[in-house]
C-alpha cells in the first residue's frame, strides 16, 4: 500500500505583512514542488526520510500520538511528522515509511524561501488522507494543512501560502479571512508585465520576521503605516483585476516606500544590503525591484513593462558583485 502527493511552493507578489491585518494579497505558485510519499513496510520501526538532510530516521508512535525518535532526532525537519500524528491522531497498525522530498526548494544547498513548508503541509495532509482513507473533503484538507503548518512551524501566519499551494492555480488573490472558506480569486497574468525572481543567497526564517511585525504594531506610527499598506495592497489587487500594468507597478512602488518607512521605524531589517543594492541597479535600468514575502533575505522580484529593460537589468546584475541569482519559478 502506497500514497503519494505533491504541492507547489509560492511567491508573494503583493500584500506582505498587511495581509495579516486584512489586506488583499497576490500570490503565485511555483513549478517547484514538495513530494510526500507514505508506504507500508516490513521494517521493525517506522521510517522517516527527508531530502533536506539526505537521511532516514526511525520513529515510534505512542498511545498519546506523540512521536519518539528511536536513535537520531531530525530536529526541525521532523516537526511535520510530529505535528501530523498529534493533530490527526491516527491509529495505525501499519509500519510505515514517510518520505519528504523538497530538493526543488534549494539552490546550492541554500533554502530559497519560496514556501517549502506550506507545500509540505498540503502534500502531507493529502498523502495521509489517501493512505489512511481518512475521507477528508477539500475543506478539511485545506484547514488541516493550515493547522499542521501552524503546529509544525510554531507560529501563526496568514495562510495565503497554504491557499496557494492547495489551490492548484497559477496566481490567486486572497485575504486572511477568506482562506478557510476557499474564497479566493484566480487571476490572469497581465499582458506586458514582466517579472524576474532573484535569490539573495541568504536564508531567513519567516517566523522571526512575522513575530517581529506582530510585536511592533503597538507603535502608533506603525499602525498608521499599516492602514496605508492595506489601502495600497487593495489598490494593487484592483489594478491587477483590470490588467492595468502601469498602475500595478506604480502601486507596487508606493507599497515599497511604505514598507521602507515601516522598516525604518521598526528596525525589522526587511531591506537587507543586498536588496538595497539590487534596488539601486534596478532603478538605474528603469526596472522596479522589491523583496518578496518577509524580506531581509530569501528572494526579491524585479518588474518591468519592457522585456528588453528587464533583460538589461539582469545583465547588469550578472556584471555586478551583488550576491543574487536568477531563479526560474514558472
pLDDT digits (tens, 9 = 90+) for 138-179: 999 999 999 999 999 887 788 999 999 999 899 999 998 888
- Position of cell 534596478? 282
Average pLDDT, the chain: 93
Buried b (16+ CB within 10 A) or exposed e, 54-86: eeebebebeeeeebebeeeebeebbbbbbbbbb
pTM of the model: 0.94
pLDDT at 203 over 80: no
pLDDT at 330 over 80: no
pLDDT digits (tens, 9 = 90+) for 67-95: 999 989 999 899 999 999 999 998 888 89
Q: Which residue has the higher pLDDT, 211 or 11?
A: 11
Cα dihedral 271/274/279/284 (nearest 10): 150
Helices 307-319, 273-284: inter-axial angle, 10-degree rounding: 130
pLDDT digits (tens, 9 = 90+) for 26-58: 999 999 999 999 999 999 999 999 999 999 999
pLDDT recorded at residue 13: 97
- CA separation for the pair 314, 278 (Å, rounded): 10
Instruction: List CB contacts of 273: < 8 A, sequence separation 6 or more.
Output: none
Share of the chain above pLDDT 70, in %: 100
Of 7-21, 43-57, 192-206, 297-311, the range with the lowest mean pLDDT is 192-206
pLDDT recorded at residue 93: 84
DSSP 104-132: GGEETTEE--SSHHHHHHHHHHHHHHHHT
pLDDT at 215 over 90: no
- CA separation for the pair 10, 8 (Å, rounded): 7
pLDDT recorded at residue 220: 80
Domains contained in the chain, CATH given: 2-186 (3.30.230.10), 194-327 (3.30.70.890)
Amino acid at each position: 500500500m502506497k500514497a503519494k502527493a505533491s504541492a507547489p511552493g509560492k511567491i508573494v507578489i503583493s500584500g506582505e505583512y498587511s495581509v495579516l491585518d486584512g489586506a488583499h494579497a497576490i500570490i503565485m505558485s511555483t513549478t517547484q514542488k514538495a513530494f510526500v510519499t507514505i508506504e507500508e513496510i516490513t521494517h521493525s520501526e517506522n521510517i522517516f526520510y527527508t531530502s533536506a538532510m539526505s537521511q532516514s530516521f526511525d520513529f515510534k508512535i505512542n498511545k498519546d500520538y506523540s512521536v519518539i525518535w528511536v536513535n537520531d532526532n531530525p530536529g526541525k525537519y521532523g516537526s511535520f511528522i510530529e505535528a501530523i500524528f498529534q493533530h490527526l491522531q491516527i491509529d495505525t497498525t501499519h509500519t510505515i515509511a514517510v518520505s519528504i522530498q523538497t530538493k526543488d526548494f534549494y539552490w546550492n544547498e541554500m533554502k530559497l524561501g519560496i514556501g517549502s513548508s506550506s507545500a509540505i503541509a498540503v502534500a502531507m495532509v493529502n498523502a495521509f488522507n489517501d493512505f489512511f482513507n481518512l475521507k477528508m473533503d477539500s475543506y478539511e484538507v485545506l484547514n488541516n494543512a493550515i493547522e499542521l503548518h501552524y503546529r509544525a512551524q510554531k507560529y501563526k501566519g496568514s495562510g495565503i501560502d497554504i491557499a496557494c499551494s492547495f489551490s492548484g492555480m497559477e496566481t490567486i488573490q486572497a485575504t486572511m479571512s477568506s482562506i478557510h472558506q476557499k474564497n479566493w480569486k484566480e487571476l490572469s497574468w497581465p499582458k506586458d508585465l514582466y517579472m524576474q525572481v532573484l535569490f539573495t543567497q541568504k536564508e531567513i526564517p519567516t517566523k522571526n520576521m512575522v513575530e517581529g511585525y506582530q510585536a511592533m504594531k503597538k507603535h502608533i506610527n506603525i499602525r498608521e503605516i499599516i492602514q496605508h499598506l492595506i489601502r495600497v495592497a487593495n489598490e494593487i489587487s484592483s489594478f491587477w483585476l483590470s490588467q492595468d500594468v502601469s498602475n500595478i507597478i506604480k502601486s507596487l512602488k508606493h507599497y515599497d516606500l511604505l514598507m521602507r518607512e515601516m522598516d525604518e521605524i521598526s528596525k525589522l531589517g526587511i531591506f537587507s544590503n543586498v536588496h538595497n543594492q539590487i534596488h539601486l541597479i534596478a532603478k538605474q535600468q528603469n526596472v522596479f525591484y522589491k523583496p518578496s514575502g518577509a524580506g531581509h533575505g530569501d528572494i526579491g522580484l524585479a518588474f518591468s513593462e519592457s522585456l528588453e529593460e528587464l533583460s538589461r537589468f539582469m545583465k547588469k546584475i550578472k556584471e555586478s558583485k551583488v550576491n543574487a541569482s536568477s531563479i526560474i519559478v514558472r
